[in-house]
Structure 1
């Protein structure tokens, strides 16, 4: 399944419900402390139930909501590409569609509610029958479903399988289902069984955070091998093998325990009768803990989380580049989401290019999504507009916006910042001016605009007086700071010039097919 939307409510800086769209590659940009990492950490809580990198508690509630008495955090994920069928048990096959467990978009929508930072309560939000005669069938026992069948004289040949009973009931009420949006409690009866099966289809979520701690007990993901273990153990064939091993061990342990108690009974029947073997169920075994010591270590067995930031990021770069090759060779179909904070950290531009290139390739593979945060304009310029999500903090309310193409054909952090924050910079002025020159539009742009005197410094200390429009005047001052013969332009004039260039480029209509390159 593929994550296409995520909603956050009452979690840290996100008070009101904030909706976020996801693609195969999604990159969050915005000012420091605007809430980029919060989204990645909320996803970790959603997917890993507090057993991943992030531990959830009541301090994560939005402080204003908490002070106003709202102590419930809500995290909602919407998934496309849902499985065609789900086997509840060996004799019952059904589908999310047949069980009315898809939302208005035909997708699976999972809602997790957390009271006061406590344990999750899971619901499936769907367009579901609300007619009291046939509502909440997923929460009813077999006997209750049979009673509905009997009371309404509904034909149903096989009354031992709940999914068959539900289908018969809903078919009988097909003209009066009264379908409405509802949240179905996933902790009871067949709704719980279906949720347990859905868990097998959810993608693995792996969060790689920026370097923050360096202790051996650091809960943050520092070693990619630990994340590889999760994906490897998620493989169906390996799960079946491990389950077989565990079952064989369980049976042998049962034999040992039974023999021991039989011998004890010969000595003291009362004590023997009061004892019974406690052997964990196969499904409860945590195979990941068996491999928790895996690591990539260097000289003198120094673990990665004790190495420098540059080394840690290079290992991470190599992991993702290796994942591209491994998935190409193996054809892996395990769904996985890689979430990486600031992959450019402690890397020069060439390594930034390599790691982003690897992540772009990885995100293009089946069953893989990549989520990034970045502060690097260099990284942003390697992406497409549809990859970008701009986080804004407007009047103490967070919004996450999809970035649409603006005046420039390539993604520009300067342009994004201008659109989002009305931030006028010399770098953005240069980009717009260079784009106009590249398109051979300069004559049209300056035509009819007022000019001002500009004194040019020439060779041999000669000076030359020229007339320049405002945009040219600013351009010359940016590129010739050594020339102090002209009054410095103001910030208001810089903004005016940027606005004029943006309006002009917009007036020229559709951009050419090839992107502009510096």
Structure 2
């Protein structure tokens, strides 16, 4: 199950309508701080839950466009019929659309207020209601009970950079910890400990001499007497049935002892994040051990804000392996500043968006698929495409790759090929000491000039290349690698 599309309209930092195509197991958001990465996560929460109690709708609108409506739309793809039949109500099945063998459902929350004709009645649409697209009527509708059904139809697990412990401490059966505990509960219910507890509960509440049932008998008699006066002949009794094991689990707490033993809610955000990631790692292992578990068929989406924070490289590697495992079953969204993290995801399994501020508004640009080389992606390649860092490492990789594939093993041969096949001019003069106190000058392409400058920093006869020149040279080499003329070398 995947969120295949996400549309933000006038939402917080995003003044314009932004469309994210997210039909990949892993969705990554990169960019500088305060450019809207985490805002995308908050958009999902807004869609599911609406306006928080301590906020107004204006808090969700772009600061420069308070007069415009705000809305979030998501499209979900996957085995939706099975999910609705198992976890929701069958009356929502008509809202599933079959497109090319794929089941889709589209949800929207908007601040625009209007009325629609829904069946035989008029329904008001506003920010308090989540709507679902009806392809038959070509409109977004709010069927009875749908707002509540959404929260049972799919779950979201969020791990924020400024972690809130409340999500971690939820042992509900639909939450991550609750799912992990479910198998254990089945064994626990069959144990002698639970059987002994039921016996003790019966004595304490029902059959014992000092049981709550016997001690409350006077109260029962008074209520029964009054009931007969109001209603007629009737009897009253209190039945103290033992709760299900899940009721006790929901009351559980998480205690951490890192030198000071306290509830995790009293720990700092660093410890809370570490615990959340640890639970996620265990959940990944659980997925491996129980791939056919029916409880895993319910859509569950992970949103992890800057997972690399406070993790040393070995811990980052463990985290990456966990994300890869989870993404085979559940979709994972991450924000990150780490090229090391991005390097480990296969291109077919990840889509990446770079966020940036343009004219006081956040924008999101789909990052080009990083398949420049046969050995892609490299860290230098990731830095170029996702962080717009043009490095000497990437320039060297591009130059060496073109030389190797075309079998032009020196700059003279390569420059001739670049000039003949791609009209690259030999426009740069390279001065070289010939070893006897004299110099000679050769005309080179910009690519070879920069390559020589990188590899021969001891040569002080030549002017350093500029930032603009290395960007120009890098872009030109990428264009060459993607050209049909270069493709011939790759297929031969």
**TM-score, scaled to structure 2:** 0.68
Instruction: Show the counterpart of 1:339.
Output: 303
1:10–1:74 CA contact under 8 A, matched in 2: no
> Does structure 1 residue 185 correspond to structure 2 residue 142?
yes
Instruction: Show the counterpart of 2:34.
Output: 33
Task: For structure 2, list consecutive stretches of 5 or more residues without a partner in the other structure.
Answer: 114-125, 187-193, 195-200, 207-211, 240-245, 420-424
> Does structure 1 residue 501 correspond to structure 2 residue 477?
yes
> Does structure 1 residue 453 correspond to structure 2 residue 419?
no
Change (3 A) 1:466 1:358: farther
1:85 Cα deviation from its structure 2 partner: 8.1
> Does structure 1 residue 390 correspond to structure 2 residue 353?
yes
Instruction: Show the counterpart of 1:139.
Output: none
Instruction: Show the counterpart of 1:102.
Output: 97
Q: C-alpha offsets along residues 257-301 of structure 1, whole Å, 9 cap, x if unaligned?
A: 99846514647989999xx99x9xxxxxx9699446324442221
**TM-score, scaled to structure 1:** 0.65
- 2-structure distance, mates of 1:123, 1:299: 49
1:25 Cα deviation from its structure 2 partner: 1.3
Q: C-alpha offsets along residues 308-335 of structure 1, whole Å, 9 cap, x if unaligned?
A: 8876665555433322222222334423
1:480 Cα deviation from its structure 2 partner: 4.6
2:133–2:139 CA contact under 8 A, matched in 1: yes
User: How many correspondences in the alignment?
Assistant: 425
1:82 Cα deviation from its structure 2 partner: 0.5
The 5 A counterparts of 1:433-448 are 433-439=399-405, 441-443=407-409, 445-447=414-416, 448=419
Instruction: Show the counterpart of 1:432.
Output: 398
- 1-structure distance, mates of 2:215, 2:281: 48
1:498 Cα deviation from its structure 2 partner: 1.7
SS where residue 153 of structure 2 aligns?
coil
2:159–2:305 CA contact under 8 A, matched in 1: yes
1:373 Cα deviation from its structure 2 partner: 1.0
Change (3 A) 1:292 1:205: farther
- 2-structure distance, mates of 1:254, 1:462: 109
1:88 Cα deviation from its structure 2 partner: 11
2:48–2:151 CA contact under 8 A, matched in 1: no
- 2-structure distance, mates of 1:399, 1:201: 28
- 2-structure distance, mates of 1:83, 1:341: 31
- 2-structure distance, mates of 1:356, 1:228: 26
SS where residue 501 of structure 1 aligns?
helix
- 2-structure distance, mates of 1:7, 1:258: 61
The 5 A counterparts of 1:34-49 are 34-47=35-48
2:254–2:263 CA contact under 8 A, matched in 1: no
Change (3 A) 1:424 1:185: same
Q: C-alpha offsets along residues 182-210 of structure 1, whole Å, 9 cap, x if unaligned?
A: 11213x3xxx2x665564331x2111112
- 2-structure distance, mates of 1:492, 1:260: 88
1:225–1:296 CA contact under 8 A, matched in 2: no
- 1-structure distance, mates of 2:89, 2:95: 14
- 1-structure distance, mates of 2:488, 2:91: 46
1:426 Cα deviation from its structure 2 partner: 3.1
The 5 A counterparts of 1:194-213 are 196-197=148-149, 199-202=151-154, 204-210=155-161, 212=162
- 2-structure distance, mates of 1:436, 1:482: 25
